[in-house]
Structure 1
């Protein structure tokens, strides 16, 4: 089956021979977005996450291995422990029959979620932009740079397990606008710092993907203006204090739809 044929299928088309396997962490899984996939409750996976939207858009059968809190090692080598039990290594779903793979991974390797939550502006707290930058050394930048070989190894494991698949690595979006906003408890300096950290992670992962002939889809521009500072009806990402039921700093239901459609539209045919 040619990949051009795969990409040309309209939404709602009959599933093609072969399969699409989605890999990744909570940015792909969609924690707390209703309805949740109760077959894997420990993964906090939404039924309508971006992989599901993408699969419908291009008309392929989806096998979803995404799992909240996953690290790159859980994708390629290490069983993941969840509150509801252990889940298999994500690449175990791949095979010679897999025709498309998407992957969103990396920020859990550097504990970015807990870092970002700690950046909430509290009385007497030290700003993140100072706490993680000392003496001209940026601790988070160093953490990310150290992941280069591991992220590359994860991509190599995907290629070995799915030799006939197109692999699309999907980056992380724009979580907060430049300078932040009054509606979110983060200082302007910390908002800009968090943007820089996520951008660096995207750059490092993009380099690893492109070196291996894999496509990298950058969500930064498409999600600009739809960050946590946007009105709830325009948010692609929940804020530090979500306006509705959802996981802080994770995609909203609207965001999942937008991301799935964007990946479908920008995939190399």
Structure 2
């Protein structure tokens, strides 16, 4: 939406296939187009791990996951540290509490997947790199000169990366480390076309829909990485 407003283009209708608005060009759709495989997309804006467990039940009820399912990708975690995690009853100021909650939810979620789709592989997809060198570049308006603020987002990134990898190890799922794979393509990347995550006030990054979310380049990167994993 923000990209379209920035370019003075009319906003297309956003699909709501599972009750949540989704970008019409999000990475699950792009991956499906690139691979030619059937993808059921139950992603949801601002989704936490607890909310993902609810969407899983919806997918099961709608027969999107079952005995024939080959892979289930769970791309959730970072929102557990924010206000949506707080709404789930988690003490978001305590990284240990967030991790304990997340890992517990992932155990139950993976067990549920295996109960209805015994042959399915479960992939926990990480979050691409957001900040670097102790900063997040929220104002990107001068080509080649991202504007950073000293926000310790890397603390949250590391905590998120750790709890996702731990959950994968404990449940036998595969952890897809997108943060490591996207290093050098964060909000502060000076090469505008290679920026995978948008800023807040951002006119130089590739097209994007929401601030501090994947750009068009970032979406392609995630689709490629997940596509290789599945």
Q: TM-score range by the shorter chain?
A: 0.7 to 0.9
Structure 1 residue 220 corresponds to structure 2 residue 182: no
CA RMSD of aligned residues (A): 3.2
Task: Quote the Cα distance in structure 2 between the aligned partners of 1:37 and 1:172.
Answer: 23
Cα 1:232/1:60, change in 2 over 3 Å: same
Relative distance call for 1:203 and 1:53 in structure 2 (3 A) is: same
**TM-score, length of structure 2 as denominator length:** 0.74
Aligned counterparts of 1:78 and 1:215: Cα–Cα separation in 2: 20
Alignment gaps of 5+ in structure 1: 1-29, 80-87, 116-137
Seen in structure 2, the aligned counterparts of structure 1 residues 114 and 207 have a Cα distance that, compared at 3 Å, is closer
Tell me how far 1:156 sits from its aligned partner.
2.0
SS at match of 1:203: helix
Measured in 2, the distance between the counterparts of 1:72 and 1:89 equals 14
Instruction: Please say if residues 96 and 163 of structure 1, whose CA atoms lie closer than 8 Å, have aligned partners that are also in contact.
Output: yes
1:52 aligns with: 29
CA-CA distance at 1:204 after TM superposition:
1.2
How much has 1:67 moved relative to structure 2?
1.0
Q: State the alpha-carbon separation in 2 of the partners of residues 260 and 78 from structure 1.
A: 21
1:209 paired to 2:209: no
Cα 1:224–1:250, aligned 2, differ >3 Å: closer, same or farther? same
- Structure 2 distance, partners of 1:74, 1:38, is 19
Partner of 1:256: 219
Structure 1 partner of 2:93: 139
- Render the CA deviation track for 1:162-209: whole Å, top value 9, x for unaligned: 22212111001110112325734521xx2xx31121221121121212
1:178 aligns to 2:133 (yes or no): yes
Equivalents in 2 of 1:201, 1:49: separation in Å? 22
Q: 1:108 aligns with which of 79, 82, 89?
A: 79
Name the CA distance, whole Å, in 2 between partners of 1:176 and 1:216. 21
Q: Is the 8 A contact 2:2 2:208 kept in 1?
A: no
- Equivalent residue in structure 2 for 1:94, among 65, 68, 76: 65
Going from structure 1 to structure 2, the CA distance change for 1:35 and 1:163 (only over 3 Å counts) comes to: farther
CA contact (8 A) 2:134 2:154 kept: no
Query: Residues of 1 paired with 2:104 and 2:23: CA distance?
Result: 30
Change (3 A) 1:95 1:41: closer
Please give the per-residue CA displacement for 1:125-158, whole angstroms capped at 9, x wherever unaligned: xxxxxxxxxxxxx934234223221232222222
**Cα drift, residue 216 of structure 1:** 0.8
For the 8 Å contact 1:106–1:151, the answer to whether it is kept is no
Of 187, 195, 210, the match for 2:154: 195
Residues 143 and 212 from structure 1, CA distance in 2 versus in 1: closer, same or farther, beyond 3 angstroms?
Answer: closer
